[in-house]
Amino acid sequence: MVDQTRTIIANIDRLNRFLDEAGCSALILRSGKNFTYLAGFSYPGTLGRHLDFPDSPREVLLVWPRHGEPVMILNHYAAPLARRDSWLDKIEIYDDYAESPYQKAAAVLKDLGLDREVVGLEKSYISAIRWEETVGLLPGAKLFDCTEMMDQVRWIKTSGEVELLREGALILDEAYLEIFPTVREGDTEREVHSRIVASCVQRGAQWAHGILNSSRNTVAYGGESDFAFHRGDIIRNDYVSYYQGYPGHQSRTVVVGEPTQEQKDTYRLMRDIYRMTINQCQVGAKANDIHRFASEKFKEAGYQDRVSLVGHSVGAWWHQQEPYIVPTSHVLLEEGMVLALEPHVGYWHLQDMILVTPDGPQLLSPRFSTDEMLVTG
């Protein structure tokens, strides 16, 4: 049964509509984002990493029938957190390293009389061996890849999801505002990174991750090093702070020491393109048109660098979600989508989450003003 003392924020009506359109009787869900979305909580830290690896020996599954009681298939480490935080009640425990959770999932479907029905399985999040195993365990079922369907279910956020995203964004902006003004010449990437992550956790985030590099560091996204900041450096940053499984995901431009006029002018140019791109995120706008708009603005300003990703959806995870704002996406924006917009060139990285509304895009992370870049040191 569902725990009525906890508010379900997933859009179950939308899920049921997609299930009915697909003629699907049940789902076996494996990814962390769908588990969080439908079970109502997330696994932090080490447990969370096991949701990322297709061949993890400690994976968790969620069997979701169209009619009937959902069942979480968990190992002994994962079960206590589910009992405390999930709005679902029913748990089947398997012995990790000794048993297969897919055997448990197949048994649940057989008990529900659904082992010969259409069953959705996330092919993008399980290994080929696990897919073959499930086919063997459910020889009478018609298995189909439900990855894209579930992405579309989660596209449209409920008001409860939006509030969690706002809180995650507030935590991250508050951490930025606490830590960035304290950065001094000689501080290392590693030191500043650790302070930002610690600040997020101290403010209520379950966990946080991201990158922080000097503009002189040519290995962006290569991890934080003992590279020390000098006056005139731009601090590139790209962080995620999770609140109840939902991310705050913003990037801010910071300069160490008084910026040059050239840096001020460049920042204002990047800021203006970023804001104009956000304003393109109207209901009915096409993702690749938004990408084209940003790319053309950068070219008009004299930047010939390839702009690959202008933005992406966020929800019960931070990045790997459609729609992507890329040249090949023909997705039309809909009311209720939440996007992280990040049109940028090089280390001039600005990023904010916006909610698509009939009245235009609504900023979810307004705490940290981007009118001017932050000066520290």
Local confidence pLDDT in tens for the 377 residues of the chain:
444 456 799 999 999 999 999 999 999 999 988 999 999 988 776 666 666 677 778 889 999 999 999 999 999 988 999 999 999 999 999 998 899 999 999 999 999 999 999 999 999 899 999 999 999 999 999 999 999 999 999 999 999 999 999 999 999 999 999 999 999 999 999 999 999 999 999 999 988 999 999 999 988 888 888 999 999 999 999 999 999 989 999 999 999 999 999 999 999 999 999 999 999 999 999 999 999 999 999 999 999 877 889 999 999 877 757 889 999 999 999 999 999 999 999 999 999 999 999 999 999 989 999 999 999 99
| Residue 87: Cβ within 10 Å count | 19
DSSP-based three-state secondary structure for 24: coil
Per the CB < 8 A criterion, the answer to whether 232 and 241 are in contact is: no
How do beta strands 311-313 and 338-341 pair?
antiparallel
Q: Indicate whether 359 and 249 sit together in one domain.
A: yes
Q: How many domains does the chain have?
A: 2
In a shared domain, residues 38 and 177? no
Same domain, 211 and 268: yes
Q: What is the pTM of this model?
A: 0.93
Whole-angstrom distance, CA of residue 53 vs CA of residue 63: 19
In a domain, 172, yes or no: yes
Locate tokens 């840096």: which residue?
A: 263
Q: Tell me the C-alpha distance between 67 and 26, whole Å.
A: 8
**137 plus 113 within the same structural domain:** yes
Residues spanned by the domain of 62: 12-155
Boundary of a domain, candidates 108, 134, 155? 155
Residue 171, amino acid? I
Last residue of a domain, one of 96, 120, 155: 155
Strands (E), 5-164: 26-29, 61-65, 71-74, 91-93, 118-121, 142-145
The strand ranges marked E within 55-205 are 61-65, 71-74, 91-93, 118-121, 142-145
Contact between residue 168 and residue 248 where contact means Cβ atoms under 8 Å apart: yes
The first and second tokens of residue 22, run together, are 């697909």
Peptide bond into 323 cis (omega under 30): yes
Catalogue the E-assigned strands of 232-328: 234-243, 246-250, 254-256, 311-313, 324-325
The enclosing domain of 339 has a CATH number of 3.90.230.10
Q: For residue 315, report the phi and psi dihedrals to the nearest 5 degrees.
A: -175, -125
- Residue closest to 85 by CA, chosen among 68, 72, 66: 72
CB 347 within 8 A of CB 270: no
Q: Is 116 a domain residue?
A: yes
> Is residue 22 within 8 Å of 118, Cβ to Cβ?
yes
Residue 376's pLDDT is 97
Last residue of a domain, one of 125, 155, 185: 155
CA 299 – CA 116 distance, rounded (Å): 56
Q: Identify whether residues 238 and 128 lie together within a single domain.
A: no
